[in-house]
Each structure stands twice: as structure tokens, then as C-alpha cells.
């Protein structure tokens, strides 16, 4: 009797996930977290109109979702000022990143990213046999010059950049991103992850023609729209590239419930604006809590704040452990020197009250361990 015959590539990979979810940590600790401010979700939730639309759509869950995502693609095209053929919808940015890699990366192909950038992208590249080439951050931002130089050096199929950045929250001004396209090596596709685009300051969105074949931009309903559990993401790009997704995507990957929720969320601009304002207020509160404890907060154009703990990664991990022990779920960057920080998502007043109470104790315990 034999088991499945894995490919050599699959057999060589570890059975792992890019992130250990808070649910797994709660099971391990035997109790729930009191404040869930670590996964960059929106604790402010979805628009009530979106929630109502999803509840109504539940009665039709016996039907598959529209495999063409027709209504949602057309609504997104109108909202973004592009044509429907420039829009692809998928199971969050994570799913769309996987399809992008599947479309473009064969075993041995070079892919460039930043060391410490979004791990799920790396997970997909490894899963399709690509070779990752990483460059370090500079000044807590992704280093555009180093990324371009490495892409040219290794003839990269893909160059990944998140703007605003996860895990640091920093961002590049529009001119820098636009100039990056002009310097992109021939044959390299810029994968621009804009999961946090709605939180950018006014006028900070780069102007990239949607039919420019050198780039694809990804956005999501997981952050500002408060629908992380619904798994709705979309890509904007040149029509030939968008059409190519039909070769590899899961055509029934989107549920009717998610499609209905995303459509209703798009129509509720007032709730989106309210959420963005609440996130901005939460960022200010987090920065204030950090300052009250002698720590500094990095500038952020996301729904989280990276807080510099003022020492090395071991100290930051001790602070993180102290917060987790008190029921406050946060995360941190994974690679030095950015791992000197902890990353705190925007929370409610109650969440941040718990953070304010827990942080002094976590810091005291971490300093006592040194």
C-alpha cells in the first residue's frame, strides 16, 4: 500500500503556514485574547449595509457564486475609473498573488522582494519553485533602488513591493513609485500590493496607467472595508494580463455571500470614510501610548502602527510575550533590524485601554530579563 506520490518540489517544502493565527494561539493558551489588535483586521467591522447584504445572500448559498464576478467587477471598474476587462477578482490579495506566481514563475525563475516583506508572497513563490532574492529595508522602508538593481541582476520575473508597507506601515511618495516603473528591467512585472491604499494621505496614490503592462496593482476589502473574513481582493492591470488569470484561477472561488457584501460595501462611502477616520484616531492613540512608555511610533499610512521598542529583536519579543500573556494579541516584524518593533493594529477604545494597561508591565518584565 502506497501513499500519494508528491512532486519533488512538494516533498522538499515544509508543511507550514506564513502566519500562526490568533485562534491557534488561543487554543494553545487555553483562553481567548481580550484585545485582538495584531492581525491588521478592522475591529470596526463591515458596513451595516454590507452585513445586511451578506445576511440576505446567505439564503442563496445553495448556489455557486457568479464565476465571472460580473457585477462586482463592473462596480469596481466604475469606482476605479477603468474598464471591467482591467479588473480581476479573487480570494483576497493572498489568492491573487498565488495566481500571479502560477502564471509567471516556473521552477528556477528569479523573483525579487524585500527581506521581511509579506511572507505569503514568498510562500507562493516557493510553492511554484521560484527562487527568491531579497534585499534589506532601508530606513524602515522598502528600498526601491536595491530592489531594481537586484531585479536587473537576476533577470527577475516578478518584483514585489507593498505600498504602504506591511509590516512597517511606511510608504513611498507617488513620484518614487512612478519613477520605479520607468526603471523596471525589461520583462519584469511589478507586483504592487496596495492592501492599505485607502489609508494613504490625500494625493499619495501613484498614477499608473491601468493598461501599462509592466505592473499589476492589488487591493482588498480586508482592511478599510472590514471584510477580512469574506476574502475579497481585486487586481488592476492591462487587459491581456487580467484575461490570463482565467487560465489558472478558481472560477468558483468567490461565494455569493462575499460578492454581495463587497458590492454593498462599495456603495457605502460614508461608512468607509468613518472607518478611515476611526483608524487615524486609533493610530494617534497608539502613538500616544508608545510615547507615554518611552517608546517611539513609526509614521504609518495603514491600519496599524509599528512601535520601536528601543532595543533589539530579543527585547521586542519579550515585550510581545508579555502582552500576549496579558491577553493582548499583537504581532511584530520578523527580520532584523525591523524586529526591534512590535506591530499594533488599530483597535477600539476598549482595546487600546487594555494595551495602555498591559504595556508598562510587559516592558518592565522584558527589562528585568535583560
pLDDT of residue 17: 82
Picking from 240, 268, 296, the residue at the C-terminal end of a domain is 268
Domain encompassing residue 155: 61-268
Q: In whole angstroms, what is the distance from residue 251 CA to residue 68 CA? A: 7
Q: In total, how many domains does the chain have?
A: 2
Mean pLDDT, contiguous 10-residue spans, the chain (370 residues) = 90 88 94 96 98 98 97 98 98 98 98 97 97 97 98 98 97 97 97 98 95 98 98 98 97 97 98 98 98 98 98 98 98 96 98 98 93
What pLDDT does 10 receive? 92
DSSP letter for each residue of 93-130: HHHHHHHHHHHH--TT-EEEEETTS-HHHHHHHHHTT-
* Cβ neighbours around 202 below 10 Å, total: 5
Model pTM score: 0.96
CA angle at 354 for the pair 352 and 356, rounded to the nearest 5°: 70
Q: What pLDDT score was predicted for residue 19?
A: 85
Residue 161 CB-half CA count within 13 A? 27
Q: Omega of the bond prior to 164 within 30 degrees of 0, cis?
A: yes
Q: What is the pLDDT of residue 359?
A: 98
Residue 38, burial from CB neighbour count under 10 angstroms (0-12, 13-18, 19+) = buried
- Whether residues 212 and 237 share a domain: the answer is yes
Query: Does 56 map to a domain?
Result: no
Which string of DSSP letters, residue by residue, matches 285-338? HHHHHHHHTT-EEPP-SSSEEEEE-SS-HHHHHHHHHHHHHTTEE-B--SSTTG
In a domain, 255, yes or no: yes
In a 3-state reduction of DSSP, which class is residue 215?
Answer: strand
197 and 246 inside one domain: yes
Amino acid at each position: 500500500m502506497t501513499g500519494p506520490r508528491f512532486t519533488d518540489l512538494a516533498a522538499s517544502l515544509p508543511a507550514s503556514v506564513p502566519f500562526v493565527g490568533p485562534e491557534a494561539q488561543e487554543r494553545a493558551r487555553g483562553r481567548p485574547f481580550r484585545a485582538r489588535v495584531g492581525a491588521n483586521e478592522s475591529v470596526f467591522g463591515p458596513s451595516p449595509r454590507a452585513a445586511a447584504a451578506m445576511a440576505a445572500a446567505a439564503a442563496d448559498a445553495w448556489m455557486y457564486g457568479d464565476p465571472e464576478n460580473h457585477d462586482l467587477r463592473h462596480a469596481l471598474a466604475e469606482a476605479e475609473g477603468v474598464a471591467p476587462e482591467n479588473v480581476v477578482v479573487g480570494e483576497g490579495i493572498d489568492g491573487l498573488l498565488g495566481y500571479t506566481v502560477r502564471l509567471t514563475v516556473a521552477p528556477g525563475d528569479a523573483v525579487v522582494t524585500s527581506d521581511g516583506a509579506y511572507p505569503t508572497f514568498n510562500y507562493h513563490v516557493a510553492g511554484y519553485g521560484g527562487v527568491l532574492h531579497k534585499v534589506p529595508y532601508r530606513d524602515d522602508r522598502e528600498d526601491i533602488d536595491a530592489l531594481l538593481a537586484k531585479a536587473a541582476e537576476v533577470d527577475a520575473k516578478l518584483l514585489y513591493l507593498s505600498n504602504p508597507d506591511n509590516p512597517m506601515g511606511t510608504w513611498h511618495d507617488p513620484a518614487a513609485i512612478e519613477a520605479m516603473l520607468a526603471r523596471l528591467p525589461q520583462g519584469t512585472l511589478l507586483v504592487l500590493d496596495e492592501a492599505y491604499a485607502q489609508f494613504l494621505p490625500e494625493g499619495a496614490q501613484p498614477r499608473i496607467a491601468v493598461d501599462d503592462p509592466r505592473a499589476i496593482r492589488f487591493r482588498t476589502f480586508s482592511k478599510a472595508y472590514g471584510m477580512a473574513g469574506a476574502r475579497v481582493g481585486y487586481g488592476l492591470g492591462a487587459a491581456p494580463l487580467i484575461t490570463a488569470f482565467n487560465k489558472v484561477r478558481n472560477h468558483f472561488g468567490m461565494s455569493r455571500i462575499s460578492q454581495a457584501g463587497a458590492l454593498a460595501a462599495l456603495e457605502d462611502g460614508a461608512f468607509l470614510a468613518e472607518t478611515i477616520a476611526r483608524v487615524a484616531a486609533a493610530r494617534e492613540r497608539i502613538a500616544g501610548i508608545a510615547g507615554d512608555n518611552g517608546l517611539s511610533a513609526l509614521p504609518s499610512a495603514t491600519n496599524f502602527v509599528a512601535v520601536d521598542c528601543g532595543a533589539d529583536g530579543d527585547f521586542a519579543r519579550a515585550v510581545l510575550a508579555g502582552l500576549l500573556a496579558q491577553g493582548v494579541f499583537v504581532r511584530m516584524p520578523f527580520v532584523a533590524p525591523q524586529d526591534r518593533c512590535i506591530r499594533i493594529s488599530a483597535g477600539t477604545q476598549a482595546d487600546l485601554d487594555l494595551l495602555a494597561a498591559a504595556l508598562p508591565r510587559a516592558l518592565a518584565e522584558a527589562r528585568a530579563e535583560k
